[in-house]
Structure 1
Amino acid sequence: MAGWEVRPSDPGRARRLRLLGLLLVLCIPLAFYAGSWWQQYIQPSAVVVQPGVPLRDEQLLREDDELRQQLAVVSSAEKLSQQANEQSRLTIKLLEEQIYKQQQDLAFYKGVLAPASRREGLRIKTFELQATDSPEHFRYKILLSRVGKGDAPLEGQLQVSIVGKQGEQDATLELAALTAGLPDALPGQSIDFAFKHFQAIPEAGRFAELKLPEGFIPREIKVRADVQGEKPLLRTFKWNKEE
């Protein structure tokens, strides 16, 4: 018979094709739904996370800055502690030197107040000199003492002069003139004193300064004490050596 074609019939295969087509139809809305879910949940999460990164960086920077400030404070405190320790060490050293000097002075003053001589009255104990870095500058100190147990203070005046040579000529210079313009400068040619046991000039056992004229060669120091009610007392000291 013309126009006819014989094909084998397979009902199972037809059912599978229909099921496959149905699955394909169902996959379309599922795919759309899945895409919407991804857009709604996954992508916003990524958007939220990214701004958090610079915020975290700022927090770390703040913490780092705070740690640096704390380190600076600790370092500063350590430096202050070191400076305080050094200052304490210097203070202790100074106090030890002062105690040692006072012990020396105490021993010296004990000798002053118990001399071998029995004659009572004023003593010009010493005229002490110290050189300095400058050839013309010297530091000096005078110590007066008293022998005896009188209650009334000894009062009087000292006159100090330096004898030497200026060029080829003998010259005598007053101590007051040699202290002009220097610390502890003498107000006049005479130095007033009043004491019971001993007195240092300048006060408190300090040293004063004197300056020799350029070219002056000192030889000796003459110290004259005029005491009320007593004869004048004169003592001569070699320059840097007692006579």
Structure 2
Amino acid sequence: MARKKVKGSKQYRMKVVPHRPVFGLMSVAGIAGLLLVATWSAYYAGQYQERNRSEEQARQLNQLRSQFLNASTENERLRVELASAEQSALIEQKASEQVRAELVLEQSRIAELREEIAFYRGLMAPAAAEQGVSVGDLTISPTAAERRYQYKLVVQQLAANHQIVTGYVSMKVVGSENGAEASYPLHVLSSDVEAERIGLRFKYFQNIEGELQLPEGFTPERIELSLRSGGRSGANVDKRYAWLVQES
């Protein structure tokens, strides 16, 4: 009997396969095993790579820590050396300043001694043209008080055979006040002087010294001195000193 073909649809050949449920289970188990093995392999491979990465990071960290400790040790050593060098430089600087100050002081003492030697040499063995009563330089120095000054003047006898010198000295400070010339006798400005005439009585020399206070508004310009002495070394001396204040 001939088969009748059905038009419009594709015909498939049918094959009869024996039903084997055990084989199917074994296939599924094999595939699952393969998946499990692949999963564990991937896991252990990842763990191995992660362990290697952690070990490398730990090695690098230890290396950085060692470098940091070495740098800290070197930095501390350099800090100690720098502090020691700064301390040495400071000590040398202070020592140099002290030596310089002592040298300046010693030079000042030498200059003072030379002045004193010259002074006493002039007293004891003056030149013939220098014999008589001599008035030295006038020194004016500032004090801690405003407009208050120290003054010092030396009057001396230059002679081979010294005699008692008597007489007096009068001094006044001349300057300007309120746009006009003004003058003040020394005894008005200085409590160390009792009268306008300062008495003289000496054989070798006499110091005239003390402190004076300038009035407000008064600008000093000079000091005028007048000396009168009697006896064999009698002298009449008139001098003017510019108002020059020495640095303290």
TM-score (norm 1): 0.49
> Which one has the largest radius of gyration?
2
TM-score (norm 2): 0.49
